Amino acid sequence: MLIPSSLERTERGLRIAWSDGQVREYSARELRDACPCATCREKHAAPEPPPTMLPVLSAAEARPLSIEGMRPVGSYAYAIKFSDGHGSGLFQFDLLRELGTAIES
pLDDT band at residue 12, thresholds of 50, 70 and 90? confident
Whether residue 51 is contained in a domain is answered as no
Domain range spanning residue 93?
Answer: 4-45+59-103
pLDDT at 88 over 80: yes
Whether residue 52 is contained in a domain is answered as no
Whether residue 40 is contained in a domain is answered as yes
DSSP for 34-46, written as a single string: T--SHHHHHHHHS
**Distance between CA atoms of 100 and 37, rounded to whole angstroms?**
18
Count: domains in the chain: 1
- For the chain, the average pLDDT equals 90
Model confidence, pTM: 0.84
Read off the CATH number of the domain in which 85 is found.
Answer: 3.30.2020.30
pLDDT at 105 over 80: no
**Distance between CA atoms of 104 and 31, rounded to whole angstroms?**
21
Whether residue 53 is contained in a domain is answered as no
According to the model, what pLDDT value does residue 14 have?
A: 96
Whether residue 54 is contained in a domain is answered as no
Mean pLDDT of 10-32: 95
